[in-house]
Structure 1
Amino acid sequence: MPASSRRATLATVAASAGVSVATVSKVLNGRSDVAPATRSLVESLLREHDYIAPSPRRGEPVATDTVEVQFDNDFNAYSTEIIQGVVTAGAELGAGVVVSVRKKIDHPAAWARDLVAAGRRALIAVTCERLNARQLNALSRVQLPLVVIDPLNLPYAELTSIGSTNFAGGLAATQHLLSLGHRRIAYIGGPASATCNQARLHGYRAAMEAEGAPPLPGYTRFGRFRYQDGLEHGAAVLDLPEPPTAIFAGCDEVALGVMEAARGRGLRIPQDLSIVGFDDTQIARMASPPLTTVRQPLREMGGVALRTALRLAAGEKIDSHHVELATELIVRASTADVACAKHS
């Protein structure tokens, strides 16, 4: 084959530019850790040599930035929204996304090394109740960037995280119930120490105290963000000598559990009990009646997390370690004026 017809290789381009093959590869992959003058030279030589990346062999994976999204609990409606946001952003940016569930990490060092060996460029951890300093140190040693979505705990303040305005959401949910005349309002949330749960709880308490109606004893309860917890804690508060006329649930799944506990006691929603959730997942719209809830932009949070993870993997600096996206109260049919119960 004549020399002029041979396909140019990375080595050919690297030799012409006087740089390493690794540097040419970085330019091809859009990495930011290449000097502008070097990038310009390499790009010019790639065009001059009419470089065409070789097609992968059958069964050989295509090289791409791959980000792993890890959950530490089984998937639910909340998880689905996050995954959709990450996958959509990945498709737009040409990045691969791998989704996994890791309920227990006994050997953080091996776990981190395995992620790198599998070709992961960054890790997105969702809720991550079990995230601890040993795991963070292991990721740091292998230089694998981490972004956390809706963190349940933050071992380090400088940890990069994506969340929403949880305090404002809790405030809006409670103010909505107060505006309907409710004063006996209970809060059923997630883990007591969870960062997002604490913010929603503080919003609830701030609204109640501003109205001069502090929560009654037994009106604040914590569990997990799961249906069964809503069912159990909902039953507990509804069986109090002075039960609430409204309940603010820390997530939609908990709210549905509360709904079932209310129905089991012959209570009508919203005539006898108003309920507000948090997240605005698909189950909020499918509930009967449709659930009033605080919309947490879960898909947008997933997209922001992926873009942030890729920027960190490319060595770029980010403007803030913590980003909060705005929440919004969505009023549906599960809340009504407290007077409805008196006149029905």
Structure 2
Amino acid sequence: MKPAKPVESRSAASSTQTATLAEIAREAGVSAPTVSKVLNGRADVAPGTRTRVEELLRSYGYRRRRAEAARSPLIDVVFHELESAWAMEVIRGVENVARDEGLSVVLSESAGRLTPGRTWADQVAARRPHGVVLVLSGLDESQRALLTSRSIPFVVVDPAGDPGADVPSVGATNWHGGLSATRHLVELGHTRIGAISGPSRIMCSRARIDGYRAALETAGLSVDPELIRQGNFHHDMGYRAGLELLRLPDRPTAVFAGNDLQALGVYEAARELGLRIPEDLSVVGFDDLPLARWVGPPLTTVRQPLTEMAEAAAKLVLELGREERPSAGTRVELATSLVVRSSTAPPSA
């Protein structure tokens, strides 16, 4: 019988150790082929056994050697939600890079959860893609360890929370975007400016509303909690929150929406209440999706370079997979910019 190949490992104390598959199997109380199945993401292993073996592989810091890591010609992209034009811009960016590299793209959705389920991680490990791009999502510790042990790099786009210093990520200047949107309304003469944020658990959403607050405070305007509504980045929430704001006795003369879809919900609320945009109400969105140019009136919004962000993430994950030094670093932040169209004007008398 041929001796088992040694595996590369690191102890918690960062001292170099060496363990064979056979040694890991003995410690786990299983056979070496079972350890190999777990390592290769095979599904025919009992859950309890898989967990025990995975814990040992993590404790040894095991990583597949590059020569052994035969990769599929794929990039995995996982969204916390797929049903939006926003997602299409991200997909387009990843596709641009994948096409040039001769790779295909696999799409997954975590059904609104910010962390994909365990089944997803096992499927990715079995596919062995060139890398994983996570959008508004993240990984728990066991999922990170599983992908790391298979030498599958991952990059987070618009991380929901702080991804950690060791997690590569791509984002945009969300705080500055919220600041520039609100400053634009202040400079037009608006003093009662409503805001509809995104989910509070998502970091980019909090940054945009913080930029809104900063613009008001810089202009010497008070931040009125009555004028702020929490949204969820969907059109229907923009509509409902818009109705609440516009039905206030002293309604806002302008609204900054945390994304374009919510801004279009505000459009619908304004029409229902007989308010004209921009004569009676100014509206600013965030993202600059293609539809922002075609609504009536065309929407003033903050351009977030979604396609470029996705391209940067795809390039970064491929560089990490090739063990190259990333050309733009592992924490990338692209600039936002205000795009002024016809949905904003000075407040009427």
TM-score (norm 1): 0.76
Matched residue pairs, number? 278
Tell me the distance in 2 between the aligned counterparts of 1:247 and 1:234: 8
What's the % identity of the aligned pairs? Answer: 43
Gaps of 5+ in 2: 1-65
1:127 to 136, 146, 151: 136
Q: Is contact 2:110-2:116 (8 Å) kept? A: no
Cα–Cα, structure 1 residues 325 and 67, in superposed 2: closer, same or farther, change >3 Å?
Answer: same
CA contact (8 A) 1:131 1:153 kept: no
Given that residues 316 and 330 in structure 2 are in contact (C-alpha distance below 8 angstroms), is that contact kept between their aligned partners in structure 1?
no
* Aligned equivalent of 1:277, options 276, 285, 297: 285
Q: Secondary structure of 1:120's partner?
A: coil
Whether the 8 Å CA contact 1:152–1:196 is kept in 2: the answer is: yes
For 2:143 and 2:256, the matched residues in 1 are separated by: 34
For the pair 1:164 / 2:172, whether they are aligned, the reply is yes
Q: Does the 8 Å contact 2:78/2:133 carry over to 1?
A: yes
1:85-122 deviation digits (Å, cap 9, x = unpaired)? 110121123222222223267852x4323212123121
Structure 2 Cα separation of the partners of residues 106 and 64 of structure 1:
21
CA distance in 1, matches of 2:225, 2:108: 40
Give the conservation status (yes or no) of the 8 Å contact 1:177–1:246: yes
User: Equivalent residues in 2 for 1:260-271 (5 A)?
Assistant: 260-271=268-279
Residue type of the alignment partner of 1:69 = V
CA distance in 1, matches of 2:211, 2:175: 5
Work out whether residues 113 and 142 of structure 1, in 8 Å CA contact, stay in contact via their aligned partners in 2.
no
Distance in 2 between the 1:142 and 1:66 partners? Answer: 15
Structure 1 residue 322 and structure 2 residue 331: aligned?
yes
Counterpart of 1:91? 99
For the aligned residue pairs, the C-alpha RMSD in angstroms reads: 2.0
**C-alpha distance in structure 1 between counterparts of 2:140 and 2:128, whole Å:** 23
State the secondary structure of the residue aligned to 2:130: strand
Conserved in 2, the CA contact under 8 Å of 1:164 and 1:324?
Answer: yes
Normalised by the length of structure 2, the TM-score is: 0.75
Structure 1, unaligned runs of 5 or more = 1-32, 35-62
Matched residue type, 1:323: V
Q: Which amino acid aligns with 1:331?
A: V
The partner residue of 2:73 within 44, 65, 69 is 65
* Aligned equivalent of 2:125, options 116, 126, 133: 116
Note if contact 2:286-2:304 (Cα within 8 Å) is conserved in structure 1: yes
316-325 or 73-82, which moves further after superposition?
Answer: 316-325
CA change 1:198–1:157 in 2 (3 A) is farther
Task: Give yes or no for contact 1:64–1:96 (8 Å, CA) kept in 2.
Answer: no
Alpha-carbon distance in 2 for matches of 1:292, 1:254: 13
**Contact map agreement 1:277 1:292 (CA 8 A) in 2:** yes
Partner residue in 1 for 2:161: 153
Q: Which amino acid aligns with 1:172?
A: S
